[in-house]
Amino acid sequence: MTKSEQLYQRAIKTVPGGVHSNSRARSPYPYYIKKGEGAYITDVDGNRYIDMIMGNGAIFFGHGYAPFTTRYQENLTRCEGLTTGWETELAVEAAEAFLRIIPAERVRFTNTGTEAITHVMQMARAYTGKNDFALVEGAYDGWSDEVNISTFPSLKDVGDVENPVPVPGAGGLDPRIVANTVIVPFNNLEVTRKILTANKDRLAALILEPVLIDIGFVEPKPGYLQGLRELCDELGILLVFDELLTGFRVPEGSCQKWFNVTPDLSIFGKAIANGHIMAAVAGKSDVMETVASKGTASFVGTFNGHIYSVAAALAALTLMEDGSAREGMEKNIQRMKEHFEATAKALGIPAVMNGRGGHLQWYFTDHVENYRDAAGSNVENYAIFANAMLEQGIMVIPKPLAHHAISVSHDEQVIDRIIAAADRALEKVAQSRK
């Protein structure tokens, strides 16, 4: 019995399913990791993998990246003995560094994406006086009742494309909240206009990932985000960007800067602190002030601005600021994409690799512009591809509706290994089709 299996047998006696997040579950048992080093992880049985999950995109620089670790530890010495419960100079500096990268007027720190989106929803209700929300079909904006709706739904449940049905993303959600939630299709401005217009009197905000990323990486069509901005202004609905994953990684550091569209509110996390616990709410000053001088919305948390978190965020944001790290990942993603698609085409396999700025996903179909396209990708081909990558020591996610990430530590040699492994994995897909 392997050490991983032994740990799993121990874990299931105390932990439901043996994991602390459902996303870590694997068959026959999860991976138990003992070491991270740059682009690599090593499990308790001594197996070494190139990590292409990178903390769901949170680890921007790599495991144990020395320049980050040094700055982080130096920052901690400036508040010796403190942990949480007080404001610090580090928190002020981290907020200033954040706003040098993200084109927002105000920011507040919290701990997780679900906390951040919960704050956003309360602020939107307080600001608009309206109660309900519109979400994008297939997006994942957190696990709370209000947003875990139409998250990875079965295509048999989603209804007509011009009138998508709100589908619970998990058991235990309040059915009244689910029924009152408005669902719109990604990249379809005409249908979204009809749906939002019909519900404008009750909608506080439209919440969306500006790049549909928890299902992989699906970019907005030209003019789509600009059209949503104009539509929300016209209808009196706040526009909220969920940039928890896109933030700091995509070109220009954020979708709002990349596509030149200013949301009313946005949330960030993951890469903000290179894998340390941190999230943020940012936006226009008049909306953000609902939690301060206007005092109409609550924004509290014992661990908000935790000293370890702001020390990590300040270290990460300072290293990110000149954009060179992001640009290096962008070049590697484009090289991987070009090679993958050329190989797939030569083998006669319909497949694309979508990605920018360190995020990527492989789809076994020839076109993806919304959730239904992504969900219609060839599941069998992806399974063969993913298994072949794992067999070659490339840590990927088995399910096809997922996103992968690289880091600054994924250097040219690592990228070469990934490209070569993908070639061999595609050959296995081609063999299975004969």
Give the model's pLDDT for residue 230: 98
What span, in angstroms and rounded, lies between the C-alpha atoms of 409 and 407? Answer: 5
Within-domain flag for 386: yes
Q: Give, for all 434 residues of the chain, the pLDDT tens digit.
A: 899 999 999 999 999 999 999 888 888 989 999 999 999 999 999 999 999 999 999 999 999 999 999 999 999 999 888 888 889 999 999 999 999 999 999 999 999 999 999 999 999 999 999 999 999 999 999 999 999 999 999 999 999 989 999 999 999 999 999 999 999 999 999 999 999 999 999 999 999 999 999 999 999 999 999 999 999 999 999 999 999 999 999 999 999 999 999 999 999 999 999 999 999 999 999 999 988 766 688 888 899 999 999 999 999 999 999 999 999 999 999 999 999 999 999 999 999 999 998 999 999 999 999 999 999 999 999 999 999 999 999 999 999 999 999 999 999 999 999 999 999 999 999 999 76
Q: Check which CATH number belongs to the domain holding 161 and give it.
A: 3.40.640.10
Q: Are residues 265 and 396 in the same domain?
A: no
Within-domain flag for 7: no
Q: Are residues 173 and 119 in the same domain?
A: yes
Within-domain flag for 4: no
Q: Are residues 82 and 188 in the same domain?
A: yes
Give the model's pLDDT for residue 295: 67
Q: Which of 277, 298, 320 is the last residue of a domain?
A: 320
Within-domain flag for 24: no
Among left, alpha and beta (phi > 0; psi -120 to 50; other), residue 54 is left
Q: Check which CATH number belongs to the domain holding 424 and give it.
A: 3.90.1150.10
Within-domain flag for 10: no
Within-domain flag for 20: no
Give the model's pLDDT for residue 298: 87
Q: Are residues 180 and 281 in the same domain?
A: yes
Per-residue pLDDT of 141-189, as tens digits, reads 999 999 999 999 999 999 998 999 999 999 999 999 999 999 999 999 9
Three-state secondary-structure class, residue 395: strand
Q: Are residues 350 and 376 in the same domain?
A: yes
Q: Are residues 378 and 260 in the same domain?
A: no
What span, in angstroms and rounded, lies between the C-alpha atoms of 310 and 277? Answer: 9
Q: Are residues 303 and 327 in the same domain?
A: no
Give the model's pLDDT for residue 434: 64
What span, in angstroms and rounded, lies between the C-alpha atoms of 427 and 254? Answer: 36
Q: Which of 320, 350, 368 is the last residue of a domain?
A: 320
Indicate the helix (H) or strand (E) that contains 233.
helix 224-235
Give the model's pLDDT for residue 293: 66
Cα-based distances in Å from 400 to 121, 191, 365, 388, 395:
30, 27, 11, 14, 14
Q: Are residues 310 and 342 in the same domain?
A: no
In the chain, % helix, strand, coil (3-state, to 5) comes to 40, 15, 40
**406: domain range?**
31-60+323-432
Per-residue pLDDT of 110-146, as tens digits, reads 999 999 999 999 999 999 999 999 999 999 999 999 9
Within-domain flag for 13: no
Q: Are residues 42 and 143 in the same domain?
A: no
Q: Are residues 267 and 180 in the same domain?
A: yes
Give the model's pLDDT for residue 257: 97
Q: Are residues 87 and 195 in the same domain?
A: yes
Strands, sheet with 265-268, edge to edge from the N-terminal-most edge strand: 106-110, 279-283, 265-268, 238-242, 203-208, 132-136, 182-184
Q: Are residues 257 and 186 in the same domain?
A: yes
Q: Which of 290, 320, 350 is the last residue of a domain?
A: 320
Within-domain flag for 8: no
Give the model's pLDDT for residue 85: 86
Tokens 């590697």 belong to 332
**Count of the separate structural domains present in the chain:** 2
